[in-house]
Amino acid sequence: MAALQTLARRCSTSILKRHFSVSSPVAAQMTVRDALNTAMNEEMKRDESVFLLGEEVAEYDGAYKVSRGLWRKYGDKRVMDTPITEMGFAGIAVGSAMAGLKPICEFMTFNFSMQAIDQVINSAAKTYYMSAGKQTVPIVFRGPNGAAAGVAAQHSQCFAAWYGHCPGLKVVSPYSSEDAKGLLKSAIRDPNPVVCMENELMYGTAFEMSDEAMSEEFLVPIGKAKIEREGTHCTLVSHSKSVGLCLEAAQILEKENIFCEVINLRTIRPMDEETLINSVKKTNHLVTVEGGWPQFGVGAEIVAKVMESDAFDYLDAPVYRVTGADIPMPYAATLERATLPGTQDVVLTVKKSLHIQ
């Protein structure tokens, strides 16, 4: 029910606030949901060993309808509904990958992946190393990550920092439909374990898709960030839904003649340090923006990387982080709004960085 309301809300606001990263007269439009669906469909068509398992992915068409139509098309063998037993089915997915299949293991949200996290880290991520290259684990773990709307503390955590911490894992966090399609396709083709963290609130958002992005061979490389908007005064770096926040803030700041460069990380691990450092050298100011908690988070890691790099000498201000508030997510609407970063947080922090006001 909450998901439907969210969907309705997103549809109405997306008409008012379109996120364009490419402007083209005859470009197609695709929602993030459809982009993910298309990615899975194309990869399942291309490779017999790719299959999807998770709660409600088959007959329900997916808890958030991301896998709509796939079971009808591919049947029980390729799209499997599991019981509500994350540790068990994640372990089974990992085992099937060890034996040569290419599973897509869906967590209804990444909050539930905590029950299975041992299988993700100890059975999937570390195995290629422990076996000195003998045993591969070509698995994708995917699902919505981070805050939704009104789902409270146990259903709102961002796991980018937790999974991004671990060697042996690749971790991607798409923002746009192009990101979603290209990154998920790359993840499925990647013979290593990949965690693909989506965002429920973005599922219904439509983005322009170039002809290239609409093709069946379209891939977004893992490990490469995208400069969504070029700028000169301050770099904003973000991932997932917060990229949209940065773009909005950049538009607001533009009216005051402050031009921000917005970087969409796309991949949390391995992070594209080169793009970050080059941007900081250009703008001399950096603000990281994320929905997750501040301590030991993605922003914290970026700060450390920049401090230790030669970009440090180019900084004219400390690197600042805009993050979710350091509290469990409250339910009440006003409190929830205040817990998540908004454009005012980004604008304020950029101005602080630039010593304005």
Partner 1 sequence: MLSCAARLVRAQIQSKPTACWVVATRGYADIVDEATFTTSEYALHKLDEGPSQTVTVTRDDALKYYRQMQTIRRMETAAGNLYKSKVIRGFCHLYSGQEACAVGMEAALTPNDHVITAYRAHGWTYTRGVPPVNILAELTGRKTGVAKGKGGSMHMYGHNFYGGNGIVGAQVPLGAGIALALKYTGSNDVCVALYGDGAANQGQVFETYNIAKLWDLPCIFVCENNGYGMGTAVERASANTEYYTRGDYVPGLRADGMDVLAVREATRFAAEWCRSGKGPMLLEVATYRYHGHSMSDPGTTYRPREEIQEMRKTRDPITGLRERLISVNLATAEEMKQIDLDVRAEIDKAVEQAKADPELPVEEMYNDIFVDEPPFKVRGTNPFMYGISK
CA distances from 19 to 50, 79, 145, 240, 247 (A): 32, 32, 20, 13, 8
Name which of 135 and 232 has its Cβ closer to partner 1: 135
For position 267 contacting partner 1 by CB under 8 A, the verdict is no
The Cα–Cα gap between 287 and 236 comes to 5
Phi, psi of 172 (to 5 degrees): -120, 155
The token duo for 204 is 């219904």
For position 170 contacting partner 1 by CB under 8 A, the verdict is yes
For position 83 contacting partner 1 by CB under 8 A, the verdict is yes
* From 155, 233, 239, 285, the catalytic residue: 155
Q: Which of 3, 27, 28, 98 binds partner 1 (CB under 8 A)?
A: 98
Q: What is the dihedral of CA 246, 252, 254, 256, to 10 degrees?
A: -140
Q: Which of 1, 23, 134, 255 binds partner 1 (CB under 8 A)?
A: 134
Q: Which of 31, 96, 240, 279 binds partner 1 (CB under 8 A)?
A: 96
**Burial class, 236, CB count within 10 angstroms (exposed 0-12 / middle 13-18 / buried 19+):** buried
Name which of 25 and 167 has its Cβ closer to partner 1: 167
Q: Which of 3, 27, 28, 92 binds partner 1 (CB under 8 A)?
A: 92
The Cα–Cα gap between 94 and 224 comes to 26
Name which of 5 and 49 has its Cβ closer to partner 1: 49
354 near 258, Cβ under 8 Å? yes
Q: Which of 270, 294, 330, 342 binds partner 1 (CB under 8 A)?
A: 270
* From 42, 43, 86, 228, the catalytic residue: 86
**Neighbouring residues of 335: CB distance < 8 A, sequence distance ≥ 6:** none
**In angstroms, what is the minimal distance from the CB of 225 to partner 1?**
15
The Cα–Cα gap between 201 and 214 comes to 22
**In angstroms, what is the minimal distance from the CB of 191 to partner 1?**
5
For position 255 contacting partner 1 by CB under 8 A, the verdict is no
Instruction: Kindly list the catalytic residues.
Output: 86, 155
